């Protein structure tokens, strides 16, 4: 008779913590254990823990900050830089000429 009571208690314990046993390797196993332990005595709490333990873990979304296009170093990018330098020099050259003319006038 005592052996039968031990078996019944063991089966009841296993059934009570079945959601925790099923969800043991899940990412949120501690939350399943908490719901099962605290609310498992109600049928609704036990069902919530059981359904949660059977559901799949959400796949994490990885967000990368790297740009999708690889930057290529080619002659085109160098030409753009050269053109920018030429534009700057062409903008500065009239100023240089004006300064030279004024200096020549001051010398006379």
pLDDT tens track for 7-44:
999 999 999 999 999 999 888 889 999 999 999 999 99
**Alpha helices, DSSP H, located in 1-108:** 2-16, 18-22, 29-39, 43-54, 75-107
Q: What is the pTM of this model?
A: 0.50
Position 82 scores a pLDDT of 53
- Do residues 46 and 36 touch, judged by C-beta distance below 8 A? yes
Residues 29 and 23 sit within 8 Å (Cβ to Cβ)? yes
- 69 φ/ψ angles, rounded to the nearest 5 degrees: -95, 135
Q: Cα separation of 32 and 107, whole Å?
A: 93
* Closest to 55 measured CA to CA, from 30, 20, 26: 26
Round the average pLDDT of the chain to a whole number and report it: 77
Alpha carbon 34 to chain centroid, angstroms: 27
């Amino acid at each position: 008779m005592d052996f039968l009571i031990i078996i019944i208690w063991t089966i009841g314990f296993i059934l009570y913590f079945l959601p925790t046993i099923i969800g043991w390797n899940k990412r949120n196993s501690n939350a399943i254990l908490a719901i099962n332990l605290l609310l498992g005595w109600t049928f609704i709490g036990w069902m919530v823990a059981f359904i949660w333990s059977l559901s799949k873990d959400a796949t994490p979304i990885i967000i990368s900050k790297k740009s999708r296009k690889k930057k290529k170093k080619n002659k085109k990018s160098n030409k753009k830089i050269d053109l920018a330098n030429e534009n700057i020099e062409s903008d500065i050259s009239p100023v240089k000429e004006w300064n030279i003319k004024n200096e020549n006038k001051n010398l006379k």
